[in-house]
Structure 1
Amino acid sequence: MTPKILLLVNFSEEYGRGLLNGIAKYSRLFGPLNFCRIPLINGSKKDLKNVIAWAKAWGADGIIAQIETERSFEKLLQLEIPIIAQDTKERFLEIPNITGLYKETGQMAATYFVEKGFTNFAFYGFDNMVWSRERCEGFSNKVKEYGFDVYVYQHQKEEMPPMWSYKESSLSDWLKALPKPIAIMTCDDNQGQHVTEACKAVGINVPEQVSVLGVDNDLSICNLSDPPLSSISLNTEKAGFETAQLLSKMIANKDFKFTDIYVEPLHIITRRSTDFLAVDDKEVSKALHFIYYNFKELISVDDVVNATALSRRVLEKRFQSVLKRSILDEINTLRIKQVKQLLIETDLSVTEISYFCGYTDIKNLSRYFRRHEGVSPLEYRKLKQTKLISL
């Protein structure tokens, strides 16, 4: 008999769509599973009563749900069928959670900004959502490891938020008071767009004065932002696959010992909102901008030097003083990041990727890649493919 799965998840955003893709993939490979999608419920007595009545009438065997109130889950538990929760305010103890490596996501953002030369940092998010709080914690702790402080603005996430206003607000007041230039991590892409719009409303330039990074890589939000929003891509598809896999086991065996499902951060998609390198040394800044816009070409260290008014020896010294790495290291770091992204997101051969990323010889790429990642490009692709969907 085909298991019947009730889906109470918001699939209008990238996070939920990624989960749905993974759930569907599991069903195709190991199902089929029979799904019923119901719009996300807000926990009202009427909505909850209707959901429970439908679950009983339909004969649901399991539920994957995103509901923010403890009362709602207590009611759903009375159905006595397996439930997996997408965590929101807190993680649930009685049932497995679709949660995330939130602190690691914050750490990734911190390292990204530090490598761009920033010395001022801020976080904008919610203090009543576990995924926001822990991203803030990971970001703040990592920034402090590098020897810097973090300005934090956290507020309450509301179930029915007011219409966003682009005029003067407490957010714009906070942004105006921050030291510049500053790197801001936001808890998700929605809040990232709020920051870019608030900056625009009060005349703060993004990314020259404020560099903004979101989470989820929701294209419908990132590309609507002005300027387009950089974001951390999450491996939600793998989490969706593992969620369907776990729920199937729980349906087959009610005594199955469950563990939480963790959504992993994959990599950072850089768009205009973080396309800035915060360096006080003007000549080093010129060099960095030249590298950033030309690293995919067949540029050399001499080309970088020629973009400045300094000699190679002096520029190399300043690079080491400001960034703690050489000019060639900076070129290769950007190239390797691009290589990693192409290995994960495309089917291009290593030779094609090598050419696209500015390497004249695949052996040079392999040597630098192994130095950075500890494995060859092909080994890296296989490892990442295994992590994306583990069968």
Structure 2
Amino acid sequence: MNPHRIALLFNANKVYDRQVIAGIGLYLNSTRVEWDLFMEEDFRSRMRDIRQFRGDGVIADFDDPEAPDALCDLHIPVVAVGGSYHDPAAYPAGVPYIATDNARLVRLAYDHLIEQGLGRFAFYGLPPHPGSRWAQEREHAFRAIVEEEAVEATVYEGSPTSAGGWGEAVEELVAWLTALPKPVGIIATTDARARQLLQACVIGEIAVPEQVAIVGIDNDPMAQLLTRIPLTSVIQGAEEMGRTAAHLLHQMLRGVDCSATRVLVPPVGINVQVSSRYHPMRSPHVMRASHYIRQYGCLGIKTEQVADYVGVSRTVLEEHFKRELKQTVHQVILKHKLDTACDLIANSGAPLADIALRCGFTSLQYMYAVFRREYDCTPRQYLDLHRTTGAT
């Protein structure tokens, strides 16, 4: 029996689409299904020639505004994947639809910020566009939550990302962030927009998370690599969406009518990092110094450099740190380096020598000595303990 020819119409340059495709692959690898998969060579979805596709089925990203018209009346099974809608009439008719639950994504981010003790909120979205209806749905979900709970909140859609207009756009973003009453928790509609917020906070010298706590959506590894301050992000159930879509198409290829099926897939959880771990600080000097340490603590900075950045003497800064944090500036820098090293040891798989270098330790031997002194174990023992804990 020849394998079914299936077209996957996604823009796999986006992390969400890649995760959906990964879910499809996981389904195929866990079953006896034999599919001959078609995707564009550059992994972009193109609808223009799809009616000439001589295949047996399609799984497509219906967040693409061209998809519904291009794939209607195709006479082969089609499974739609996309964002959820608060208005049921917005869903395409006649095709099974697997949706990421936009309302629950935003609710998870909001609840996390509430748990951090914040009372003011903002949303950084995208300007309305046919290709970003999911962003408008997330904005709608945010507005509904803050209206229901009667909390102080604002929405900023900003400008589309483009190289030519980026300079002006970032100036406007810095101005918006500067004018916000603080402290404030901000939900960004994607990790890409969250990364822009982090950049703007650095430019505007706004402390993250003491003044602005930030949560993104996507849990995109690329966004983490491109920011000095680790980003908290909601993890979509995109792989589960892919698995569900593949299962439905498998059923349809066997003659089952799934045209009325609609599945909302909830988020997997939230990856909590520094960007949202808000805790109030009385001293503006400590707040400013902490923001600097989070950016440059692994680059070998000393107490004097932190004091110069804050604009006070070392003695004054040390007094503020002891009063506010019951620690010296050096101890806070060291804790930042150790926290970063522990995270890399547990999650990156990088060699310990590389981790020592990336975290600002002068040598692997010195990192071992600090671990023994602070944690009564070696980095290797810490890794083994984390593996054991993770396996149980």
TM over 0.5: yes
| Aligned equivalents of 1:142, 1:117: Cα separation in 2 | 17
Match of 2:182 among 180, 183, 186: 180
Q: How does 1:36-185 map to 2 (within 5 A)?
A: 36-38=38-40, 39=42, 48-53=47-52, 55-56=53-54, 60-66=55-61, 68=63, 70-87=65-82, 91-126=91-126, 127-128=128-129, 129-154=132-157, 161-162=162-163, 165-166=166-167, 168-185=170-187
| Aligned equivalents of 1:233, 1:137: Cα separation in 2 | 19
Q: By how many angstroms is 1:116 displaced?
A: 0.7
**174 and 115 in structure 1: CA distance in 2 versus 1, 3 angstrom threshold:** same
**Any conservation in 2 of the 1:104–1:135 contact (CA below 8 Å)?**
no
Range that drifts further, 260-269 or 190-199? 260-269
Opposite residue 124 of structure 2, the aligned amino acid is Y
TM-score by length of 2: 0.63
Q: By how many angstroms is 1:144 displaced?
A: 4.7
SS at match of 2:157: strand
Opposite residue 49 of structure 2, the aligned amino acid is N
Q: By how many angstroms is 1:232 displaced?
A: 0.7
Q: How does 1:1-391 map to 2 (within 5 A)?
A: 1-30=2-31, 31-38=33-40, 39=42, 48-53=47-52, 55-56=53-54, 60-66=55-61, 68=63, 70-87=65-82, 91-126=91-126, 127-128=128-129, 129-154=132-157, 161-162=162-163, 165-166=166-167, 168-253=170-255, 255-278=257-280
**Any conservation in 2 of the 1:82–1:247 contact (CA below 8 Å)?**
yes
**308 and 134 in structure 1: CA distance in 2 versus 1, 3 angstrom threshold:** farther
Q: By how many angstroms is 1:41 displaced?
A: 5.2
Q: How many residues align?
A: 288
SS at match of 2:278: coil
% of aligned pairs identical?
Answer: 26
| Aligned equivalents of 2:279, 2:143: Cα separation in 1 | 20
**Any conservation in 2 of the 1:232–1:269 contact (CA below 8 Å)?**
yes
| Aligned equivalents of 1:180, 1:86: Cα separation in 2 | 38
SS at match of 1:118: coil
Q: By how many angstroms is 1:80 displaced?
A: 1.5
**Any conservation in 2 of the 1:118–1:183 contact (CA below 8 Å)?**
yes
Q: By how many angstroms is 1:33 displaced?
A: 1.7
Q: By how many angstroms is 1:216 displaced?
A: 0.9
Residues 123-170 of structure 1: CA distance to partner in whole angstroms, max 9, x if unpaired?
A: 011344342233333334444555412111135768xx5556255533
**257 and 279 in structure 1: CA distance in 2 versus 1, 3 angstrom threshold:** farther
- Which runs of no fewer than 5 residues in structure 1 stay unpaired? 286-306, 310-341, 343-351, 358-377, 382-391
| Aligned equivalents of 1:280, 1:263: Cα separation in 2 | 42
**Any conservation in 2 of the 1:83–1:247 contact (CA below 8 Å)?**
yes
CA RMSD of aligned residues (A): 3.6
**97 and 75 in structure 1: CA distance in 2 versus 1, 3 angstrom threshold:** same
**Any conservation in 1 of the 2:58–2:78 contact (CA below 8 Å)?**
yes
- Which runs of no fewer than 5 residues in structure 2 stay unpaired? 288-321, 325-346, 348-384
